[in-house]
Amino acid sequence: HYIRVTQVDVLGPGVVQGLPYTLQVSQLREDSCVADRFEPNNQRDSASFVMGGDFEFLSLEAEVLGAPEDWYKFDVEESQRVEAAIAFDPQIAELSLELYRGDQRVAVSAPMANGVARVEHDAPTDARYYLRVLVSVPPGVCVPYEMQLAVE
């Protein structure tokens, strides 16, 4: 691996000006897990509010025995369709994706297939919805994933 730092002639051809900068490099172990931008969201009460979009660089890590979870919340209007999917490496672990209505009843639960779990649901009424991403892994195992959410 290498890092290359170059200077661009922003003042014109042949004009060289030394610009100070700082470069910090660190290396993570392959099995380490970095908290994603939505943490802490490992309980329904601490669910992160999201709107539709593509979300990369998400992760789950078991710190103690049990099933680590990530929770997300969003609002849906009557007759809107919710489509959500997560993609992950099935060689590390298999994730589950569940969709809850505000009243905590499961609206849809997705089976895992080839590293993708998907839920779709047509909202019968206005409500706050929750997505729950969960996995059962031994402590210390990091499971990266990506998520897509569309509410239309």
Reply yes or no: is the peptide bond before residue 68 cis, omega within 30 of 0: no
Integer Cα distance of 57 and 36 in angstroms: 7
Residues 131/149, Cβ–Cβ less than 8 Å: yes
Model-wide pTM > 0.85: no
Q: List Cβ neighbours of 78 (8 Å cut-off, separation of 6 or more).
A: 123, 124, 125, 126
Integer Cα distance of 144 and 28 in angstroms: 14
CB atoms within 10 A of CB 4: 4
Number of residues that make up the chain: 152
Integer Cα distance of 12 and 23 in angstroms: 25
Average pLDDT, 10 consecutive residues per value, the chain (152 residues): 61 58 52 78 93 92 71 96 92 88 80 84 94 83 91 94
Among the listed residues 72, 66, 57, the one whose alpha carbon sits nearest the alpha carbon of residue 136? 66
pLDDT at residue 107, as a whole number = 77
pLDDT at residue 80, as a whole number = 96
pLDDT at residue 93, as a whole number = 82
